[in-house]
Structure 1
Amino acid sequence: MNTRARTSAKKILFSTHPAHGHVHPILPLAREARDAGHDVVVATGPDLAAQVAERGFTVWPIGPTFARCRELRLEADPDIDTVAPEQQMARDISALFGSASAVRAEELVARTVAWAPDLVVHGPVEFAAPIAARRAGVPHVVHGVAATPPARLRGIVESVMRKVFAPWNVPGLVEDVLSGAYLDICPAGLRQAGSETLFRHGVPLRPSYGDPGVSALDIDIENLPFNDTVYLTLGTVFHDAPALFRTCLSGLAELPVNIVVSSGPGSDPKRLGPQPSHVVIRDYIPQARLLPHCRLVIQHGGAGTLFGGAAHGLPQLVIPQAADNFLNAAALRASGAGLALLPHEVTADSIRIAAGQLLRDPEFTVAAKRLQAEIHAMPTPESTVTTLLNGRTPGVRA
C-alpha cells in the first residue's frame, strides 16, 4: 500500500538472483520506491516469490529456483567445491550466477519489454537484467548486495557477461554495466582502503538493517535469564552444519549469556538437541527485529548479517565457511569491530575465549559503533530513489 502522495509515478523493476542474501538487500530501496507511489515489481526465483509477495510487492517468479541454481553450478563446474574459497568465489561468477542468468534471460527480457519500466535495478551478478533493460530501451543501475567487489574480478565478470550477452545483440553492454552506477551498500570501514573496485561509479547507499519479516519477533527476550544476548547464525546457504552449531553452543555454554540461534530456513531446530532455557532456536529469524536486543553476533561472514550487525553497533565473531565469507571476515577484523576464527581454528574453547573477549573488551564495541555511525551517515533509500528518478545519479545507463 502506498504511504506517500503519488507524484509522477514511475515503473521500476528490481531483478535479483534467487537467494535470500541477494533479495533482502534490495528490498529497502524497492520498499521506499513503492511507498513513494511508484509501480514496483520484483523479479526473482519462484521459490522466493511468496516471501517477497508477503512483504507487499508484486513479484515475477522468473528463472530457476535456488536449488536448481546449485545444480546448474555443479553441472557447469563439477570440481568447484574442491578449490580454495578465493578461487571458488571467482568460479561461482560463471558456474552459479552466469548459468542462472542465461536460463532466466529469455522470460525476463520478454516481460520487461512488455511492461516497459522506466528503470531497472539489478544485483551485481544478475546478468539477465542489463539485457532486459537494453532491449526495453530503459536505464539500469547495479545494486550492491555485499562488500564492494574488487577490480581483480573484472576479467572473469567481463568474460561471463560476454557469454550471457552473446545471443542478444547488445553491443557495448559489458562496458556500460561496469562503467555505470553501482549502489554501494558497504560502509567505508569495511572496504580495503585505496583498492580499485570492479564498478567505476560507486554511489553510497545505506545498507539494510536486516529483514524485518512480516510479523513480530516470537521470542520473549525480556524474560530470558541473562542480561546479554548472543545471536548465532550460519545464514541461509551454509547452515547445514549441525556439528558447527553444537561446537558454538558448547563454547558459549560457560558464558552468562542468552543465545538465540537461527538454524537456517527449512531446517529442524530439534536437530541440535535439547537446550537449556536460555537457548532459543528458530529456523529463521528476521534479524532486524532481533539485533536491537543483542550484545554480540556470531556468524559465518555473510554480508547481510555483517552489515546488519554493524548497523546496530554490535561486535561480531565470524567463522567463515565459503565464497566471500573469508574476505568479509578479514574486513571485519581489520576494522577492529570483531574477530574471526578460520574453520580449522574452531573449537568449543576458541569460541568461548573469542566470545568472552568480544563481550568483555570495550574497544570492539567502540569500533562497531564507528561502523554504525558510518552507516547512519550514508544516503537513505528514500533519498536515493529521488536522485535515481530525477536523473541526478552519475553513471545510470540506458
Structure 2
Amino acid sequence: MRLIFTSLVSHGHLYPLLPLAVAARDAGHEVLFATGDDMLPVVEKAGLAAESAGFGMREAFESFFGPDAQPRAKDAPPESFYPVIGQVFGNVLPRRFVADLAPVLERHRPDLVVYESGNAGGAIAARLAGIPAIGHGFGRVSPGEVADIITGRLAEFAAEVGIEGASLPSFGDPVIDICPESVQAPDFLAEANRIPLRPVGWAEPGDLPAGVAGRDRSRPLIYLTLGTAFGDEDVLKRAIGGLARIDADVIVAAGPTVDPAALGDVPGNVRVEAWVPQVDLLPHVDLVVHHGGSGTTLGAFGAGLPQLVLPQGADQFTNAEAVVTAGVGTQLIGADIVEDAISEQARKLLTDEAVLGAARKLADEVAAMPSPAEVAQRLPEFAG
C-alpha cells in the first residue's frame, strides 16, 4: 500500500508521526513523508522518502503580518493576536499545503493520506484528490477560543475550494490519538472516531550527557527544557536558579531558540546542553520541569514522571491544566515563575507519594495503548 504522511513544519508536529510512519515502512508499505524544507533532513534521517510541501510557521506569520510578526505578538496582549493565529493556521498554512500537496498526490496517487491534525491542508488536499485520509494527533486536543477561531477560518477556506458541510477540523475522518484517554479532552473523546496509539517519543540519534547512564539513583536528576519553539532565556535562568538550590543534579536542554552561552555561568550541579536525546534521557530522570509542549508532556506521562509545568504559549496552558488535573504535577504561570516557587514546587514533587503514584498509574495506561507496529497493521482498513 502507498502512504503519504504530512505534517506542519516543526519538531512538535513532525516527531509524533515518525514512529507510525517508520512502522508502516517496516510493515512493507511504501511511505512518503511530505513536509517543509526545514524538516526534510529529520525525515531522511529516519530512513523515509521525503518531498517538500508547505512552509514553516515563521514564514506563514510573516506572509500575513510582515517580518515583525514575532515582536508584535510578544508585546501585545495574547488575545489581541488570536485573529492572526486563526488566519495563519486556518487559512495561510492550509492554503499553502493544499497548493504544494496537489502535485505530490497526483504523482504518487497514494492509497491513504495520514495528515497531522494541525495540518488541515493535508486533509483538504486529500479530499480534493479523492483519496482516503486519516488524521494523526500530536498530543492532547486543546479546545478554546483560539481553536474556535482557527476552525472558523478553516471552514471559510474549505468552502472556498468546494468543501462544505464537513465536520471540522478533522473533516469526519478517523483520528489516530496518541494522548492517553484519561487525560484527553472530554469533548474530543465524545465526538471523534478515535484510534489509540501509544505515544512513542522520537529523537534524532545522539549520546546522553556524560554520567547519566549508570548514575547513582540515590541522587535525583531533574530535566529542564522549554522545548524547540518557546525557549525563553529569562525563564530558563530563573528555573536554573531555583532548581540549583535542590540537592539534585540538573540537566538543561536550551533548545534551538536559546544560546547556551547566554545562560552564563551556572552552579556546579547544573549542566547546560544545546540539545539532548529526550527519549533516551527520560528513563534516567526523576522530575521534568518544562514548558508543557505536547512531546515533553506525553513523554513524561509514558516515563511515569512528575512534572512541573511553566507554560509559555499555544496549547501549553491546557496541557499544564491536564497535568494538574491528572494529579501528576503542578504548574506555575506568568509572574509566579520565580526561583523560590520553582524550588519549592520541585522539592515537593520529588517526594510526593500521591503524585508519584498517579504518574506510575498514567505510565501503565500509556504502556497498554497499541504500539505503532500494531496500528500500522490496521492502516489498510482506512484506505477504502
> Does the TM-score normalized on the shorter chain lie above 0.5?
yes
Aligned partner of 1:292 among 283, 293, 311: 283
Q: What pairs with 1:170-319 in structure 2 (closer than 5 Å)?
A: 170-173=163-166, 177-192=170-185, 194-195=186-187, 200-208=192-200, 210-222=201-213, 227-239=219-231, 241-265=232-256, 267-319=258-310
Contact persistence 1:13–1:43 (CA under 8 A)? yes
1:274-293 residue CA offsets vs partner (Å, 9 max, x unmatched): 23443222222221011011
Describe the shift of the 1:218–1:148 C-alpha distance in structure 2 as closer, same or farther (beyond 3 A): same
Distance 2:146 2:172 in 1: 14
CA positional deviation for 1:266:
5.7
CA positional deviation for 1:166:
4.2
Q: Please, what is the CA RMSD of the aligned residues?
A: 2.7
CA positional deviation for 1:91:
5.5
Contact persistence 1:105–1:132 (CA under 8 A)? yes
Contact persistence 1:250–1:348 (CA under 8 A)? yes
Distance 2:11 2:47 in 1: 16
Contact persistence 1:180–1:199 (CA under 8 A)? no
CA positional deviation for 1:157:
4.4
Counterpart of 1:262, as a letter, is A
CA positional deviation for 1:378:
1.3
**Does residue 60 of the first structure (1) align with residue 51 of the second (2)?**
yes
Distance 1:125 1:137 in 2: 20
Unaligned 5+ runs, structure 1? 1-9
Q: What pairs with 1:302-381 in structure 2 (closer than 5 Å)?
A: 302-381=293-372
1:48-70 residue CA offsets vs partner (Å, 9 max, x unmatched): 11122112111112222343134
Q: What's the counterpart of residue 138 of structure 1?
A: 131
Counterpart of 1:200, as a letter, is A
Contact persistence 1:337–1:368 (CA under 8 A)? yes
Distance 1:89 1:375 in 2: 33
CA positional deviation for 1:382:
1.3
Counterpart of 1:383, as a letter, is E
Contact persistence 1:32–1:385 (CA under 8 A)? yes
**Does residue 386 of the first structure (1) align with residue 377 of the second (2)?**
yes
More off after superposition, 263-272 vs 173-182: 173-182
Describe the shift of the 1:113–1:168 C-alpha distance in structure 2 as closer, same or farther (beyond 3 A): farther
More off after superposition, 314-323 vs 164-173: 164-173
CA positional deviation for 1:171:
4.9
2:210 aligns to what SS in structure 1? coil
1:114 aligns to what SS in structure 2? helix
Distance 1:248 1:385 in 2: 40
Unaligned 5+ runs, structure 2? none
Describe the shift of the 1:234–1:153 C-alpha distance in structure 2 as closer, same or farther (beyond 3 A): closer
1:179 aligns to what SS in structure 2? coil
Distance 1:247 1:224 in 2: 26
Contact persistence 1:302–1:328 (CA under 8 A)? yes
Distance 2:295 2:175 in 1: 18
Describe the shift of the 1:55–1:245 C-alpha distance in structure 2 as closer, same or farther (beyond 3 A): same
Counterpart of 1:235, as a letter, is G
Distance 2:207 2:315 in 1: 31
Counterpart of 2:203, as a letter, is P
Moved over 3 A (4+): 72-81, 87-91, 149-158, 166-178, 194-199, 222-226
1:374 aligns to what SS in structure 2? helix
Counterpart of 1:243, as a letter, is D
Distance 2:381 2:89 in 1: 35
CA positional deviation for 1:147:
0.6
1:52-107 residue CA offsets vs partner (Å, 9 max, x unmatched): 2112111112222343134236359966553446x866852432453122123212
Contact persistence 2:249–2:270 (CA under 8 A)? yes
**Does residue 31 of the first structure (1) align with residue 40 of the second (2)?**
no
Distance 1:97 1:198 in 2: 23
* Count of residues paired in the alignment: 380
Contact persistence 1:109–1:131 (CA under 8 A)? no
Describe the shift of the 1:58–1:290 C-alpha distance in structure 2 as closer, same or farther (beyond 3 A): same
Describe the shift of the 1:119–1:125 C-alpha distance in structure 2 as closer, same or farther (beyond 3 A): same
2:8 aligns to what SS in structure 1? coil
Percent of aligned positions that are identical: 31
Contact persistence 1:161–1:174 (CA under 8 A)? no
1:356-396 residue CA offsets vs partner (Å, 9 max, x unmatched): 000121211111111111111112111111122134xxxx7
Describe the shift of the 1:111–1:201 C-alpha distance in structure 2 as closer, same or farther (beyond 3 A): same
1:390 aligns to what SS in structure 2? helix
More off after superposition, 261-270 vs 156-165: 156-165
Describe the shift of the 1:217–1:69 C-alpha distance in structure 2 as closer, same or farther (beyond 3 A): farther
Counterpart of 2:240, as a letter, is L
